[in-house]
Structure 1
């Protein structure tokens, strides 16, 4: 077995990684559909297309499956949001920041209102009493990382004179709150309106 993993092709290692990913993906789908209490390892194995013992060979128990599946999905949501924020890197060289900020708001709203993002938030909150560290980890992987990256971009815009001098962390929090505040209540939240309000406070 060890010699298979050490071959130049790495096919065995890749195959194991692929199975683990399939298990985590299947677990997330089932947990999102049924909730933690109503999900069994057998359900996850069926969704992932693997045998039940294969699930246990990768992750020890249902709690581990829940934690790892939710964190993996949170990483995907966070990565999608960070990619949107990264597009603001060029905005400091432009004249009016409204267009790039509105595009970023639209992209973030799309990322944060996706089915996967909503399921991540729901699953983290649903088991917050049982797994408080998981809720904190999801917040770090999504909201906090995105806020930090956005604060950096807003600070650069302020230094370039495109925004008023401000505390970039506070500005980033306001930016995101305008988008995510109504998210659960108004799926049709308008990023243009959010940016109108933001630029009244921070625009030049």
Structure 2
């Protein structure tokens, strides 16, 4: 396949995914119309099926693609974590707030609600979104926490487990405070809950 043909295929695939995200987001899986997606992408309906095979596969790949996009800010926040000897504690607090804010932004909140709504019908959707969105963040955070462990600032035996604990503790009360992601929530209450989670994490992983 020539380079120009490959570029055309990539462009069409990108156009279809970009068109499918808003349609699935607004209508959900059942009510979403492939004809509408094709029209918005500037391709024919058979072209959509040629690239993705079925509406279900298009939905899965669209959700994973949206997860990668909406979690990009979270990933960059993790990578930017300040590990300086006098700044790492405050860096963790700042990171926790940033991650919580990313999870509550419009696209991320909509994605979470849609995935949860469709997961019973198609459990693979949840797994694909987890791999595309959550796991890169967890792995990046595990790497940063491992560095803190190696520097003797935290006691980290299992960096991946520590990263999971950090995310769980700092975001544990979000569903209650935001009505399952349907409301913005009170910023002060959310900030207090997030910081309480950070302090619990620090107590658990402080060097003994």
TM-score above 0.5, yes or no: yes
Q: Provide the C-alpha distance between the structure 1 equivalents of 2:133 and 2:88, rounded to a whole number of angstroms.
A: 24
Q: Which moved more, 1:184-193 or 1:14-23?
A: 184-193
2:106 corresponds to: 115
Shift of 1:30: 0.9
Among candidates 190, 201, 204, match of residue 198 of structure 1:
201
Residues 60, 128 of structure 2: 8 Å contact kept: no
Per mean C-alpha deviation after superposition, the further-off stretch among 21-30 and 173-182 is 173-182
| Structure 2 gap segments, 5+ residues each | 178-184
> Are the structure 2 counterparts of residues 184 and 26 from structure 1 closer, same or farther at C-alpha, using a change threshold of 3 Å?
farther
Pick which of 78-87 and 100-109 moved more: 78-87
Distance 1:49 1:107 in 2: 37
Which 10-residue stretch deviates more, 35-44 or 171-180? 171-180
1:44-63 correspondence to structure 2 within 5 Å = 44-63=37-56
Q: Secondary structure at the match of 2:120?
A: coil
Matches for 1:1-204 after TM superposition, within 5 Å: 6=2, 10-88=3-81, 91=83, 93-165=84-156, 167-186=158-177, 187=185, 188=187, 189-190=190-191, 191-203=194-206
How many Å apart are 1:24 and its aligned residue? 0.8
Kindly tell me: are residues 163 and 96 of structure 1, through their superposed partners in 2, closer, same or farther at Cα, counting changes over 3 Å? farther
- In structure 1, stretches of 5+ residues that fail to align are none
Deviation, structure 1 residue 162: 1.9
State how far apart, in whole Å, the 2-side matches of 1:165 and 1:56 are: 48
Deviation at 1:73, TM superposition (A): 1.3
Q: 1:179, 1:21 → 2: CA distance?
A: 34
Contact 1:95 1:162 in 2 (8 A): no
Q: TM-score, normalised by structure 2?
A: 0.79
Is the CA contact 1:154–1:168 (under 8 Å) kept in the aligned structure 2? Answer: yes
CA deviation vs aligned residue, 1:26-68 (integer Å, no higher than 9, x gap):
1111111111111110121233343333323322221121011
Alpha carbons 1:73, 1:120 under 8 Å: kept: yes
TM-score of the superposed pair, with normalisation by structure 1: 0.80
**Cα pair 1:96 1:162 within 8 Å, conserved:** no
How much does 1:86 deviate?
Answer: 1.6
Q: When the two structures are aligned, how many residues end up with a matched partner?
A: 195
